[in-house]
């Protein structure tokens, strides 16, 4: 069991608990609040052994991440007399936490919320950082606000029921924190893949804790994504999102980010910033984690997705580029130049 806190400009101190039983911690938390609601999809609801709060069952995955779910949460919260001193508790994967956080941000102009992530991706990434929101008009995360949770409770018991591919997907983000900011974390993951495969609790606690501490440092430094520091969390994602969308979402998010990191590190080498060994280190670790997929997506569709990327800024892209294992710099690259490099260096485009 390990815990830490990070500071938010808008919400004060956020407590992060790793490897704590969710029922015990939620019980303790209720002393602070007058009322509570749990928001969870039906697939996860049966894994939740805490019955002191009414439950709102939402649709699973991206299907549940819409404005209609927010309206449903608001209506049911009103029906259950959730007041401004109450708390919403999201228990689920990233899509459940994103929609819960957004509903909490707008209900009665804002109530507290707590994240209980149940997928690896949500444990190492989505639960922390305060980016809440929903999909609309065919676009992901197009409506949203930044509001930090008041507490994050990671209960490793939820890992047991995850299907293998869903379980492994989150480790692309762990490699991302490692390669950009924390060589120790990268080495710990890369040299213990057998334990990862066996879902070894001690190792998982270390990797999740390390990932969240790294993310929390970035969020504390640039909570609203305005200072050019938070872009490091996008490493692998500019090309990853493009591969994901050009493949018609036939490739998982974790695999797309993994392949994105290989392409972005190769570009970093071409630009003269990245140690030439890094694309190989990434390829080896991703391959051992079964996160390499040999795909070829349409180059024009992928390049179009990059030009539409929201990180584009006046004809330039601000990109995080790894220098050495565990270090990165921000580089401003002309969009045209970047597209040329992507076409030339990314082997997953046809
Ligand atoms: N806010 C952020 O900073 C942030 C960061 C990364 C991703 N995200 C968002 O997270 C979402 C993806 O999250 P995700 O990968 O966790 O997927 P998800 O929430 O869509 O869940 C994936 C599937 O896993 C199932 N599941 C969840 N927990 C389970 C468990 N313990 N056992 C068995 N099945 C379980 C769910 O029912 C669902 O079918 C995307 O919408 C993405 O935009 C947000």
Q: Compute how many other C-beta atoms are within 10 angstroms of the C-beta atom of residue 80.
A: 15
Closest CA to 18 of 99, 127, 105, 111: 127
Helix-then-strand count for the chain, H and E: 15, 12
Instruction: Indicate if ligand 1 lies below 6 Å from the C-beta of 80.
Output: no
Q: What is the pLDDT of residue 85?
A: 96
pLDDT tens by residue, 294-303: 899 999 999 9
Check if the beta carbon of residue 145 is closer than 8 Å to that of residue 132: yes
Q: Ligand 1 centroid to 117 CA: how many Å?
A: 8
Cα dist. 264→193, 253, 274 in Å?
A: 23, 16, 10
Task: Tell whether the model's pLDDT for residue 314 goes beyond 90.
Answer: no
pLDDT of residue 172: 98
Structure-derived torsion over alpha carbons of residues 319, 324, 325, 328, reported in degrees to the nearest 10: -30
Going from the Cα of 184 to the center of ligand 1, the distance in angstroms, rounded, reads 27
For residue 11, what pLDDT band results from cuts at 50, 70 and 90? Answer: confident
pLDDT at 311 over 70: no
- Categorize the per-residue pLDDT at 10 as very low, low, confident or very high, splitting at 50, 70 and 90: confident
Per-residue model confidence (pLDDT) at position 249: 87
Q: How far apart are CA 205 and CA 90, in angstroms?
A: 21
Can you tell me the distance from the alpha carbon of 46 to that of 109, in angstroms, rounded to the nearest whole number? 31
In the block, which residue shows the tokens 């029906």? 79
d(CA 119, ligand 1 centre) in Å = 6
Span 224-243, average pLDDT: 95
CA atoms within 13 Å, Cβ hemisphere of 72: 16
Does the structure show a pLDDT above 70 at 108? yes
CA of 190 to the centre of ligand 1 (A): 24
pLDDT digits (tens, 9 = 90+) for 125-144: 999 999 999 999 888 899 99
Q: Is the CB of 149 under 6 A from ligand 1?
A: no
Give the integer Cα–Cα distance in Å for 184 and 27: 35
Domains of the chain, each with CATH number or no CATH? 2-161 (3.40.50.1970), 164-345 (1.20.1090.10)
CA of 116 to the centre of ligand 1 (A): 11
Any binding-site annotation on 118?
yes
Q: Is 205 within any annotated ligand binding site? A: no
Ligand 1 touching residue 14 (CB < 6 A): no
Question: What pLDDT, on the 0 to 100 scale, is given for residue 325?
Answer: 98
Distance from the CA of 15 to the center of ligand 1, in angstroms? 21
State the virtual CA torsion across 34, 40, 44, 45 in degrees, nearest 10.
50
Nearest ligand 1 atom, CA 158: 31
173 assigned ligand-binding residue: yes
Q: Give the chain's mean pLDDT.
A: 95
Q: Is 187 labelled as part of a ligand binding site? A: no
> Is the minimum distance from the CB of 211 to ligand 1 under 6 angstroms?
no
264: annotated binding-site residue? no
CA of 333 to the centre of ligand 1 (A): 32
218 Cβ closer than 6 Å to some ligand 1 atom: no
Q: What gap in Å lies between CA 28 and CA 338, rounded to an integer?
A: 51
Whether 158 is in the pocket of ligand 1, judged by its Cβ within 6 Å, is yes
How far apart CA 233 and CA 212 sit, in angstroms, is 12
The answer, yes or no, to whether residue 228 has pLDDT greater than 60, is yes
**Confidence class for position 255, pLDDT limits 50, 70, 90:** very high
pLDDT at position 312: 59
Residue 64 is assigned to a ligand binding site: yes
Mean pLDDT across the stretch 82-95? 97
Report the percentage of the chain scoring pLDDT > 90: 91
Q: What are the structure tokens assigned to 78, written together?
A: 């009103």
- Rounded mean pLDDT, 206-232: 97
Ligand 1 within 6 A of CB of 290: no
Q: Is 60 in the pocket of ligand 1 (CB under 6 A)?
A: yes
Which tens digit of pLDDT belongs to each residue from 113-127?
999 999 999 999 999
Q: What's the pLDDT tens digit per position in 143-179?
A: 999 999 999 999 999 999 999 999 999 999 999 999 9
| Average pLDDT of span 306-316 | 72
Quick one: pLDDT band at residue 309, thresholds 50, 70, 90?
Answer: low
pLDDT over 70 at 190, yes or no: yes
- What is d(CA 305, CA 300) in angstroms, rounded to the nearest whole number? 9
């Amino acid at each position: 069991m390990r815990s830490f806190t990070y500071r938010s400009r808008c919400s004060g101190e956020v407590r992060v608990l790793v490897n704590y039983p969710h029922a015990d911690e939620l019980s303790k938390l209720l002393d602070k609040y007058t009322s509570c609601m749990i928001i969870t999809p039906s697939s996860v609801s049966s894994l939740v052994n805490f019955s002191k709060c009414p439950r709102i069952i939402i649709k699973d995955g991206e299907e549940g991440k819409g404005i209609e779910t927010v309206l449903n949460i608001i209506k049911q919260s009103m029906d259950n007399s959730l007041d401004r001193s109450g708390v919403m508790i999201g228990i689920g994967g990233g899509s459940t936490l994103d929609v819960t956080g957004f509903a909490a941000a707008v209900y009665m102009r804002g109530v507290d919320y707590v994240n209980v992530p149940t997928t690896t991706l949500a444990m190492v990434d989505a639960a922390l950082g305060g980016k809440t929101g929903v999909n609309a008009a065919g676009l992901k995360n197009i409506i949203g606000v930044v509001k930090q949770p008041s507490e994050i409770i990671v209960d490793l018991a939820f890992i047991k029921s995850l299907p293998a591919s869903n379980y492994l997907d989150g480790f692309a983000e762990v490699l991302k924190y490692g390669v950009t900011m924390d060589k120790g974390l990268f080495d710990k993951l890369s040299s213990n893949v057998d334990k990862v495969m066996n879902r070894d609790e001690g190792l998982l606690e270390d990797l999740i804790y390390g990932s969240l501490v790294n993310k929390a440092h970035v969020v504390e430094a640039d909570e609203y994504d305005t200072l050019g520091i938070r872009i490091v969390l996008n490493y692998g994602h500019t090309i990853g999102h493009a591969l994901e969308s050009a493949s018609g979402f036939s490739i998982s998010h974790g695999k797309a980010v993994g392949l994105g990191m290989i392409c972005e590190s190769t570009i970093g080498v071409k630009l003269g910033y990245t140690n030439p060994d890094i694309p190989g280190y990434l390829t080896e670790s991703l391959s051992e984690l079964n996160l390499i997929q040999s795909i070829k997506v349409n180059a024009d569709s992928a390049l179009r997705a990059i030009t539409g990327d929201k990180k584009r800024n006046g004809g330039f892209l601000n990109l995080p580029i790894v220098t050495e294992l565990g270090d990165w710099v921000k580089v401003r690259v002309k969009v045209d130049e970047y597209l040329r490099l992507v076409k030339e260096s990314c082997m997953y485009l046809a």
